[in-house]
A and B are shown apart, each in its own frame.
Chain A
């Protein structure tokens, strides 16, 4: 049978597909070509490794099954899987179906897509013992069930586990409208294959969707695939500059809006246009404002919940650098060589230094507690900054001034090295994070290794070694607030809990550990005012009051001050409760 596989109605589809693939090819080639040399080498080196196989598996579980969205909400997961897996199977089974009915021969793209039109009058009974018609109908029904949920979600997103959904752009709405028409039109056209207008409708819906797709949020459908592989090959975004790789992250964002609900700026402070979905959107379309870039706590709650696993915090830091970063030009030379430290640091291979950090210096109770604990443990300590010193550099990094932050890092590193310490203890998680991520003290790269510990880890170790004995002072009920920089930032959840368990009992708030709320006063946000900060602290405070605990414990001097403004509970640092229970 001679088939031409051509009819006027296929034109919108052909045009749409051509535009789609031309744009995607242009974008990907451009972004790949602009990758820095180091990243390109990484790609070549890791392309033929097990990382690629893992990437393939991740493509299957994430791009098709959407496992991470299932964890957010099963209905939401079902909806995404129905679209992705359903459509994918329709295409794959459609190709097999073509081969089954027409044999091994060249069939142009439209021949596969509009198979039922071009094979009218042909016997559509089972081939190879498989009822393709039935399978295709069931798959279409599967996609339609997802579509029904998607339409329902527009009106009642709460039922799918989302209090708020993303406000869409015009391009998004166009693409979404077309997408909603694609599958019902397909159903109609395949039900009445002789009706040409129905095929025209189906083809136009596809064409419009394909043209709008690379400019809308639906670009994520294809972009998540290269993103997964590049990530598996070890390519990352950087805080100090915007990179070509960022494009893959920006366009892999589907603006699904899962990041919106966790954002406390939205939930408690009433900012609705600064969340990661909007930040990414604004940066992608080149209309990012300083306000949006700056108005973020960088608490990491959205990054934790992002189903695509985007490096949201790093992307925002990159933008902050572009918008306000400047070369340091030696503007901190006044602090060079400053050494206001005191005390001796023990001897031999155990020389402990203590870096209080700016925020601890503002909390004399924590300082006093630390002093007594060091005494009780018989640990000679070198106090790096009791009488003042140079900031750790993290606040400058968070505001995009990475070059200036590096000046701070150099000065502090020099200070630590001069005093030959082998262990650095800090009670500030903000300092801890920058020590671990940027100082590279424990790598031994530029000098002897210096182990960096948060005071919670240090205390836990002292207790385990039997150097610190604690006594029970009645049975006290504590609740614990995970500081963002300590928990999500450095992954320290258990050490503080061990210490609390050693002196009393612990009740957890509703959102805890990696889901813990931010105190609201994060140094990363230079845009919000006092009222917003207090409002967030009060919401968090209510959560802790509901636990019935007598004392709220935290492990960050800044969180301590912030939370104290939002709750009637006494707020104490870990060091203080240990001091209170010293035998």
Chain B
């Protein structure tokens, strides 16, 4: 008996297992850029983002996921950044956001 085709389904489970995630690369990035830890996830960076204005690129989302060890797709997403530097100017915590972008690209090229 085949299942009824409803035209929609249930979302795949989206749990993050922080105990299993490999935090190593994120720690390495944090060690090189300690100020990254000061992020309050306000989203100012994403709101001003030049790339985000043209596509679904969301810097806050990607770097927050990276911080939690979720690296899948992070490198490809970060490749959309044009390094224009607006995010750094609006960051209320004064984080070197362009430095974070470059570090994520450098450390997570394999994921």
Q: Determine if A391 and B82 form an interchain contact, defined as CB atoms under 8 angstroms apart.
A: yes
- The answer on a CB contact under 8 Å between B53 and A388 is yes
Contact between B55 and A331, CB atoms less than 8 A apart = no
A388 contacts B50, C-beta separation under 8 Å:
yes
Residues of A within 8 A of B50 (CB): 358, 388-391
Considering the chains assembled together, what is the distance between the CA atoms of A299 and B62 in angstroms? 32
In chain B, positions 21-59 with a C-beta closer than 8 Å to chain A are: 35, 48, 50-51, 53-55
Residues A390 and B83 in contact, CB atoms below 8 Å apart: no
**At the interface, is chain A mostly helix, strand, loop or mixed?**
loop
* Interface flag for A59 (CB, 8 Å): no
CB-based nearest A residue for B99: A526
B80 touches A401 (CB 8 A): no
Decide yes or no: A334 and B95 within 8 Å by CB, A358-B50, A396-B82 being known contacts. Answer: no
The docked-state distance in angstroms from the alpha carbon of A335 to that of B49 is: 13
Q: Is the interface of B mostly helix, strand, loop or mixed?
A: loop
- Residue A465 at the chain B interface, CB threshold 8 Å: no
Assess whether A529 is in contact with B96, with CB atoms less than 8 Å apart: yes
Size range of the interface on A?
20 to 34
The reply on A221 being an interface residue by CB < 8 A is: no
> A residues 384-402 with Cβ under 8 Å of B?
388-391, 393, 395-396, 399, 401
Q: Which residues in A have their C-beta under 8 angstroms from that of B95?
A: 530
Interchain CB contact (< 8 A) of B55 among A335, A359, A521, A526: A335
A335–B95 CA distance with the chains assembled, in angstroms: 26
Q: Which of A362, A390, A401 contacts B86 (CB 8 A)?
A: A362
Contacts of B48 in A (CB 8 A): 362
Cβ–Cβ contact B55 & A334, under 8 A? yes
Give Cα A527 to B86, complex, Å.
16
Chain B contacts for A395, CB-based, 8 A: 82-85, 98
Q: B72 an interface residue at 8 Å Cβ cutoff? A: no
Give bound CA distance, A145 to B4, whole Å. Answer: 99
Which residues of the other chain, B, contact A401 by a CB distance below 8 angstroms?
Answer: 83
Residue of A nearest to B55 (CB): A334
Tell me the count of chain B residues lying within 8 A, CB to CB, of chain A.
Answer: 23
Number of A-B pairs, beta carbon distance below 8 Å: 73
Q: How far is the CB of A524 from chain B (nearest CB, A)?
A: 10
Nearest-Cβ distance from residue B70 to partner chain A, whole angstroms: 21
Determine the residue in chain A with the shortest Cβ distance to B33: A529
A324 to B84, CA, bound (A): 17
**B85 with A324: CB separation less than 8 A:** no
User: Is the pair A334, B83 in contact by a Cβ cutoff of 8 Å?
Assistant: no
Given A331-B80, A529-B96, A530-B96: A358 in contact with B102 (beta carbons within 8 A): no
Q: Which of A332, A521, A531 lies in contact with B82, CB distance below 8 A?
A: A332
In chain A, residues 343-368, which have Cβ atoms closer than 8 Å to a Cβ of chain B?
358-359, 361-362
A362 to B49, CA, bound (A): 10
Instruction: Known contacts A334-B54, A391-B50, A526-B102; decide if A361 and B82 are in contact (CB<8 Å).
Output: no
B83 x A396 contact (CB < 8 A):
yes
Q: How far is the CA of A332 from the CA of B96 in the complex (A)?
A: 23
Residues of B with C-beta under 8 A to A335: 51, 54-55
Which residue on A lies nearest to B91, using beta carbons?
A530
The answer to whether A408 has its CB under 8 Å from any CB of chain B is yes
Are A362 and B99 CB-contacts (below 8 A) given A335-B54, A388-B50?
A: no
- A473 interface contact, C-beta 8 A: no
Q: Which of A332, A362, A530 contacts B35 (CB 8 A)?
A: A530
Task: State whether the Cβ of A338 lies closer than 8 Å to any Cβ in chain B.
Answer: yes
Q: Does A561 belong to the interface (CB within 8 Å)?
A: yes
Q: Is A528 an interface residue (CB 8 A)?
A: yes
Contacting pair A332 B80 (CB below 8 A): yes
Task: Determine whether the beta carbon of A527 is less than 8 Å from that of B82.
Answer: no
Q: Which residue of A lies closest to B100 (CB)?
A: A526
Residues of B within 8 A of A468 (CB): none
CB distance from B27 to the nearest CB of A (A): 19
User: Would you give the shortest CB distance from B25 to chain A, in whole angstroms?
Assistant: 17
Chain A residues with Cβ below 8 Å from B80 are: 331-332, 334
Name the residue on A nearest B93 (C-beta): A530
Report Cα–Cα, A526/B102, bound state, in Å.
Answer: 9
Q: Which residues of chain B are within 8 angstroms of A47 by Cβ–Cβ distance?
A: none
CB of B89 within 8 Å of the partner chain: yes
Q: How far is the CB of A405 from chain B (nearest CB, A)?
A: 9
Q: Which residues of A contact B83 (CB under 8 A)?
A: 391, 395-396, 399, 401, 523, 526
Residues of A with C-beta under 8 A to B85: 358-359, 395, 523, 558
Contact partners of B86 in chain A: CB under 8 A: 358-359, 361-362
Question: When A358-B84, A396-B82 are in contact, do A324 and B106 touch as well, CB less than 8 Å?
Answer: yes
Among B67-99, those with CB < 8 Å from A are 79-80, 82-86, 89-90, 94-96, 98-99
A124 to B48, CA, bound (A): 83
Against B, the Cβ 8 Å flags (1 = close, 0 = not) of A522-545 are: 010011111100000000000000
B89 to chain A minimum Cβ distance, whole angstroms, is: 6
Which residues on B sit within 8 Å (CB–CB) of A359?
84-86, 89
Find B84's partner among A338, A391, A561 (CB 8 Å cutoff).
A391
Smallest distance from the beta carbon of B5 to chain A beta carbons, Å? 33
Chain B nearest CB, measured from A522 CB (Å)? 10
A399 touches B102 (CB 8 A): yes
Most buried by B among A359, A399, A529: A529
**Chain B residues near A361 (CB, 8 Å)?**
86
State in angstroms the CA–CA spacing of A408 and B51 once bound together: 12
**In the docked arrangement, what's the CA distance between A315 and B31, Å?**
29
Task: Write the nearest CB–CB distance from A545 to chain B, whole angstroms.
Answer: 23
A residues less than 8 Å from B35 (CB atoms): 529-530
Cross-chain contact A388 with B54 (CB below 8 angstroms): yes
Inter-chain CA distance A401–B53, complex, in Å, is 21
Counting from the closest, the 9 A-B pairs by CB-CB distance are A530-B94, A388-B53, A391-B82, A358-B84, A395-B83, A331-B79, A391-B84, A334-B55, A526-B99
- Residues on A lying within 8 angstroms of B by beta carbon are 324, 331-332, 334-335, 338, 358-359, 361-362, 388-391, 393, 395-396, 399, 401, 408, 521, 523, 526-531, 558, 561
**8 A-B contacts, Cβ less than 8 Å apart?**
A324-B102, A332-B82, A358-B84, A361-B86, A396-B82, A523-B98, A526-B96, A527-B99
**Using a CB–CB distance below 8 Å, which chain B residues touch chain A?**
35, 48, 50-51, 53-55, 79-80, 82-86, 89-90, 94-96, 98-99, 102, 106
